[in-house]
Amino acid sequence: MPDDIHAFIGRDAFAKFIGVELLDVGEGRAQAQMAIGPHHLNGMGRVHGAAIFGLADLAFAAACNSHGPVAMAINVSINYIKGVTEGVLHADAYPVSVNPRLGTYTVNVTDDAGDIVAVFQGLAYRRREKRGGEPQEER
């Protein structure tokens, strides 16, 4: 499973493109990080909300796919708490509730001082086939 999920995340072109790195994953949890660069900033010189979302989303995807069946996000709610301009951002994803069809995860994004930057809550729908099987198109 760990190899499988690392391979799955390794094919995530967008996460790679924006510079998100998966650190650890297993049993519904995942940690990731992103070193802030100039391409992550918004028009006010702060890290873009969508870049923070991208980091958190990768940790969420790794966490909710670590259980086996293919999981797809159906809703995310994100609260932005603190603006940041530099350093490394850290994401820690953990399960709040997982049943056979729906899983809810929280991802905390923190800065180098350990302050919370954003709180991400993701709801994933878990399909019945395994990764690698032919996905039945539902959406």
Q: Is 121 in the site for its own copies (CB under 8 A)?
A: yes
- For its own copies, the closer CB: 29 or 73: 73
The DSSP code sequence of 42-92 is -TTSSB-HHHHHHHHHHHHHHHHHTTSEEEEEEEEEEEE-----SSEEEEE
CA-to-CA separations, 124 to 8, 19, 60, 127, in angstroms, rounded:
16, 23, 9, 9
Distance of alpha carbon 35 from alpha carbon 112, whole angstroms: 10
- For its own copies, the closer CB: 24 or 75: 75
Answer for which of 25, 58, 59, 63 binds its own copies (CB under 8 A) is 58
Q: Is 49 in the site for its own copies (CB under 8 A)?
A: yes
Binding-site ranges for its own copies (CB under 8 A)? 8-15, 17-18, 38-44, 48-51, 53-54, 57-58, 61, 70, 72-83, 96-97, 99, 101-102, 104, 106, 108, 115-116, 119, 121, 123, 135, 137-139
